[in-house]
Structure 1
Amino acid sequence: MKFNTPKLLGRVALAAAALSLGACNDLDEHNPSNATADTVWTTPEGFVTVVNAAYSDQRNWYGLEDGVFMAEAGTDLWYNERKGTYAAQLTQYAGFTPLTGNPNRATWTAMWRAVNLCNAGINRINQAGFTNATDRARREGELRFLRAFYYWHVVETWGGVMLRTEETKTPLVTAVRSSVPEFYNLIISDLQFAAANLPVSWGAEYSRATKKAAMGFLARAYLSRAYYSGGSEAQQFFTLARNTANEVISNKATLLTDLRPNYADLWTQANNKTLGRDGGEALYVVSNSTNVGLNISDNGNRLFQVYQAPYNGRPGLESSVAYGFESNRRLMPTRTLLDLYDQQRDNRYDGSFQEVWIANRAYTWTAADVATYN
């Protein structure tokens, strides 16, 4: 994610650790910059830092292996690579306890940290000194889109847990469950606000929430909500989902989105910064920055490594950046997943899976290798 403004100074809330330091019974804190949320977020220029920070934790789900294991592992689509036992709590539902299954705990923490930033911004925007009503509505639209984004992942993963719309400033020692419909009432209202107030394009700024992103996600929220209903209520949400999706499709010229002629173009590096912008296929893109300090764990998107095929050491091949490092290989497709592709009519298989590796080191075929690899 590229930002033109400084990173958020610190976190909204810091966990205090009690340190036993012998004679040091009282430690005075000193903030030399005097930069706090109460001072920085009181101007439009400062307020954008909380908006920018609210985007960050998307990369914990989309970019690391955590989101894949939370959302897709343990289904009929993937095996552990070599049918191993890595993250077996989520891939095979084996040995899952409250203290195991790290992606579950890490993702839970990231989602709530992000929700709290969104709540903080939404609650404080009236004190941010905006004089331009359009700018103010756009920033609130971003925060509401992001809150809906995070809460959709929360409710679809953990169900009816705690729903909060206020900034958490002090530790909470109790939690009260909210119903799934209550989550969706907030998600839908947030996305409706975002769709009405976000711009079609942010120009040179890439990977911000836009009108098409909010409308596309709103269609998904309506569809998801329908499955928690029955009878006429379900039909109402199904109809809203269809109508909203059709609005995105029929206004592709206005919303600057259309399908690419060739599916493989989605993964072409040259298209990286256009897919979610003017005329790109993607409704929304979670991106990383060339400034690694702005990314999670000072790394870019490492998700592709999860699906690496073992190639290193095969005839004529050695490890390379172009082909990817195999150290984080985690999952392999099942026959069920492969059979979903009809290669006679669907070019998405060829656009998604690699079957050919060109030799990247000097090599002469031997009779033994010819026999081994047919």
Structure 2
Amino acid sequence: MKKITLIGTALLCLSQFSCKEDFLVTTDPTRIGADLFYKNETQFLQALNGVYGQLQTITNSAYIFQEFTSDNTTIDFNPLDRGGAAGWEAFEYSTVNPGNGEISNMWNQYYSAMYNINYALEKLGPSTIDATVKKQVEGQLKFLRAYFYFHLVQYFGDVVLVTSTLDKPERAFDLVRSPEAEVYKQIEKDLKEAADLLPQTYPANQAGRVTKGAALSLLGKMYLTRKQYAEAVTTLKQVTTLGYSLLPKYADNFDPTKKNGPESIFEVQYQGGNDLGEHSNFMYVFAPRLSGAAVTGFSTAVPLGRNIPTNDIIAAYEEGDLRKDASLKTGYTLNGKLVPVPFVSKYQHPHTIAGRTDNNWPVLRYADVLLMLAEAINEQTGPTAEALDYLNKVRTRAGLAPLGSDLDKEKFRTAVLKERRVELAFENHRWFDLKRTMTPAQLAAFMNAHGAKEKAKPTVDRGGIAFNALDYVFENHEYYFPIPAPQILINNKLAQNPGY
């Protein structure tokens, strides 16, 4: 995938309009001009792969916005280094403001990818490449655009909706935020079209590309998020006919030697064991910061101690749940002594080069689909036998006793949310699940209660450093992130979210 990253970089040049400036009187031989590119099938596939490369970059830090913000994870606090206090740590302590650098970087990454998608789609339309390849490229690009906007609209609410490139740079200053409903309408359109365009399978050398099943699964998730339960049920049931199945062993979903298995609907692809720059490193980011080789296997490792499982999620696993040991460890052994700092073990696997792991990141799994179906059916008609069956399939695989038919609608709702929490732990689902099932006021009360528990009994020792008075004070407006301050300075037509 090395060429993938280079193409993505070239397209970023286009997105900044620098390749069209009049003062450029010479041609850079290291870059491919827009007029010379998009001429054949190979180049369109390279452009598509460039967007997949950007998906890797976005996924590398997604835990900050989708797990850190929730009650699932916390920080291996470093009292000697407070460099992250105003950046990534703010998402743990609910102290994010418009000047946060992580917010700004995230916004730029998404919209850079969006430009490349829109540009490629515009070039694809009039192209004369093979019809089958053309459909597949279009479907994948539209899925990725929908996926990115599905994140953005949940992060920020109203966002800038762009589905075409700008002919003049100055037009960017006229862009305004589109209402959430309009953004979701575009997501729905893209996913429906993607589902019609995409195949269900690819040749082995293209494993991991977006499929029809991925488009339908994300569409079902969008309907569930929008509380369109009938549409969610109809869409997700289509996924159950496409040949997916639960793996007998939960841990195999995350084994790098068993990537893209029968339970996998879509996962972000990484490749370790080489110096091509396509590796993952989640183990190093999530390992306790003083664990060294005890977790990673390499004495040169400098773990970051982020995304540490909280006391709360550790306690959420029922006795005998086989998923717990596959997902987290409550400590590590160093110099013959147990150090009681928990860590995410879901991405802890042997690898050959320090810092270059081979783990993919799961985005959509069949277990997720079954639990969404159970939830949507319950919300639509109550806890039917069918809904219970979907839920119990997931519990049975985890080694747990099936739930009985004595649950009412509210208890079933609670059971499904709890099951989603432990089944999909540390896969970037928790924050959106909380938002989907709570009002801003309810979410604020929930997060403040979690914060009070962390303050009273921190998951990780803080080295004698007291909490700040503003830590874990969650207000209703924090249901949405702030629009990055630099974006509002650039374009004052972008109104800030209330409360920031």
Post-superposition offset of 1:214: 0.9
Supply the AA of the counterpart residue of 1:31: D
TM-aligned CA distance change 1:117 to 1:5, over 3 Å? closer
CA contact 1:5–1:49 (8 Å) conserved in 2? no
RMSD across aligned positions (CA): 3.2
Partner of 2:64: 69
Are residue 259 (structure 1) and residue 250 (structure 2) matched? no
Post-superposition offset of 1:194: 1.0
Post-superposition offset of 1:79: 2.0
Supply the AA of the counterpart residue of 1:303: F
Post-superposition offset of 1:77: 1.9
For residues 83 and 6 of structure 1, the distance between their equivalents in structure 2, rounded to whole angstroms, comes to: 36
CA contact 2:54–2:113 (8 Å) conserved in 1? yes
Supply the AA of the counterpart residue of 1:142: Q
For residues 217 and 258 of structure 2, the distance between their equivalents in structure 1, rounded to whole angstroms, comes to: 21
For residues 273 and 310 of structure 2, the distance between their equivalents in structure 1, rounded to whole angstroms, comes to: 37
Are residue 269 (structure 1) and residue 251 (structure 2) matched? no
Matches within 5 A, 1:25-104: 28-32=25-29, 35-62=32-59, 64=60, 66-82=61-77, 86=84, 87-94=88-95, 96-99=96-99, 101-104=100-103
Partner of 1:139: 137
Q: Structure 2: any 5+ residue segments left out of the alignment?
A: 341-500
Post-superposition offset of 1:149: 0.9
For residues 355 and 177 of structure 1, the distance between their equivalents in structure 2, rounded to whole angstroms, comes to: 44
For residues 332 and 326 of structure 2, the distance between their equivalents in structure 1, rounded to whole angstroms, comes to: 15
Post-superposition offset of 1:73: 1.5
TM-aligned CA distance change 1:268 to 1:47, over 3 Å? closer
Partner of 2:222: 221
Post-superposition offset of 1:122: 1.7
Partner of 2:371: none
Partner of 1:148: 146
Q: Deviations over 1:184-223 (max 9, x none)?
A: 1111111111111111111121221011111111111111
Q: Deviations over 1:2-43 (max 9, x none)?
A: 8899845712324659xxxxxxxx763323378322221132
Say which of 236, 243, 252 aligns to 1:245.
Answer: 236
TM-aligned CA distance change 1:182 to 1:240, over 3 Å? same
Say which of 151, 157, 160 aligns to 1:159.
Answer: 157
CA contact 1:44–1:128 (8 Å) conserved in 2? no
Q: Structure 1: any 5+ residue segments left out of the alignment?
A: 18-25, 227-236
For residues 117 and 293 of structure 1, the distance between their equivalents in structure 2, rounded to whole angstroms, comes to: 26
TM-score when normalising by structure 1: 0.76
For residues 147 and 305 of structure 2, the distance between their equivalents in structure 1, rounded to whole angstroms, comes to: 28
Say which of 327, 347, 355 aligns to 1:352.
Answer: 327
CA contact 2:8–2:54 (8 Å) conserved in 1? no
CA contact 1:200–1:256 (8 Å) conserved in 2? no
User: SS at 2:308's partner residue?
Assistant: strand
Post-superposition offset of 1:323: 9.2
TM-aligned CA distance change 1:349 to 1:120, over 3 Å? same
Are residue 13 (structure 1) and residue 15 (structure 2) matched? yes
User: SS at 1:29's partner residue?
Assistant: coil
For residues 247 and 235 of structure 2, the distance between their equivalents in structure 1, rounded to whole angstroms, comes to: 21
TM-aligned CA distance change 1:357 to 1:323, over 3 Å? farther
Supply the AA of the counterpart residue of 1:176: V
CA contact 1:152–1:187 (8 Å) conserved in 2? yes
Partner of 1:122: 121
Post-superposition offset of 1:292: 6.8
For residues 142 and 177 of structure 1, the distance between their equivalents in structure 2, rounded to whole angstroms, comes to: 25
For residues 309 and 8 of structure 1, the distance between their equivalents in structure 2, rounded to whole angstroms, comes to: 33
TM-aligned CA distance change 1:15 to 1:303, over 3 Å? farther
CA contact 1:144–1:194 (8 Å) conserved in 2? yes
Q: Percent of pairs identical after alignment?
A: 24
For residues 118 and 264 of structure 1, the distance between their equivalents in structure 2, rounded to whole angstroms, comes to: 34
TM-score when normalising by structure 2: 0.58
TM-aligned CA distance change 1:331 to 1:59, over 3 Å? same
CA contact 1:311–1:318 (8 Å) conserved in 2? no
For residues 308 and 55 of structure 2, the distance between their equivalents in structure 1, rounded to whole angstroms, comes to: 24
Partner of 1:229: none
Supply the AA of the counterpart residue of 2:149: Y
For residues 6 and 333 of structure 1, the distance between their equivalents in structure 2, rounded to whole angstroms, comes to: 36
- After alignment, is 167-176 or 4-13 more displaced? 4-13
